[in-house]
Amino acid sequence: MNTIPLSSPQDEVSTFRPLGMNPLKFATWLFIVSIVMVFASLTSAFIVRRSEGNWLEFDLPNLFWYNTILLLVSSATMHYSYLQAKKDNFKELKIGIIATVILGISFLVLQFYGWIALVESKVFLVGNPAGSFVYLLSGLHGAHIIAGVIFLLIVLKMVFYDQIHSKRMLWIEICTTFWHFLDGLWLYLFFFLILNR
């Protein structure tokens, strides 16, 4: 009489493997996705409101172009910092982060002067919705740049206390990801505003 071998519980239970992503990295990506959703809804509202008419046509200040260049350069200095951390080149790492902080602050200063240029062109926060959207989009992005600069300063402090090096890259990886995201977000907003004046 042939008997059918019973399968062991180990054969029936599938093995579940946890996600390979660090919880802090996962939280960072969730935060980034939430920011993307906010700006996607705002730019969608921009398009819908523009189609309704009563829309002021105006050129963005030239300072917005300079801001774009500043952020592109800051992405390069941030990535340079990340590479130096992997090599344990602490002096270059500090220089790269400090340069990124300076570029980030310079972006905020130019943004402020960009708003002054808008006011001089009779484009105000309150009034025509075209101007309101420009202030809202650039201002909300600026708030995230402030958060990014604070994050950079925290990472810089960690570098001075030898808490970031080739064996401990988590915080600079998260900071680099977030800063590159902010740069990419600005490029999207800037060219969106140019194409939808």
- What is each CA distance from 80 to 94, 116, 126, 157, in whole angstroms? 10, 33, 41, 18
Write down the pTM of the prediction. Answer: 0.88
pLDDT in tens, 74-90: 999 999 999 999 999 99
Residue 21 counted as domain residue: no
Residue 23 counted as domain residue: no
Q: Answer whether residue 3 shows pLDDT above 90.
A: no
Which pLDDT score is estimated for 147? 97
Output the six-digit token pair for 104: 């980030």
Whole-number Å distance between alpha carbons of 86 and 79: 11
State how many domains the chain has.
1
pLDDT in tens, 134-166: 999 999 999 999 999 999 999 999 999 999 999
Which pLDDT score is estimated for 77? 98
Contact 93, 156 (CB under 8 A): no
The torsion angles phi and psi of 168, rounded to 5 degrees, stand at -135, 85
Q: Answer whether residue 185 shows pLDDT above 90.
A: yes
Task: Label residue 18 by pLDDT band (50, 70, 90).
Answer: low
Q: Answer whether residue 2 shows pLDDT above 60.
A: no
Residue 100 counted as domain residue: yes
Q: Taking residues 61-65, report their average pLDDT.
A: 94
pLDDT in tens, 169-180: 999 999 999 999
Instruction: Supply the angle between the helices 90-120 and 129-160 in degrees, to the nearest 10.
Output: 160
Contact 160, 153 (CB under 8 A): no
Which pLDDT score is estimated for 19? 56
Q: Print the domain residue range for 77.
A: 59-195
Which pLDDT score is estimated for 15? 54
Residue 45 counted as domain residue: no
Residue 154 counted as domain residue: yes
Residue 73's CATH number: 1.20.120.80
Task: Label residue 94 by pLDDT band (50, 70, 90).
Answer: very high
Residue 72 counted as domain residue: yes
Whole-number Å distance between alpha carbons of 66 and 61: 10
Contact 152, 129 (CB under 8 A): no
Instruction: Supply the angle between the helices 170-195 and 63-86 in degrees, to the nearest 10.
Output: 160
Residue 22 counted as domain residue: no
Per cent of the chain over pLDDT 90 is: 85
Q: Taking residues 118-137, report their average pLDDT.
A: 94
Per cent of the chain over pLDDT 70 is: 90
Which pLDDT score is estimated for 196? 86
Q: Answer whether residue 14 shows pLDDT above 60.
A: no
Residue 26 counted as domain residue: no
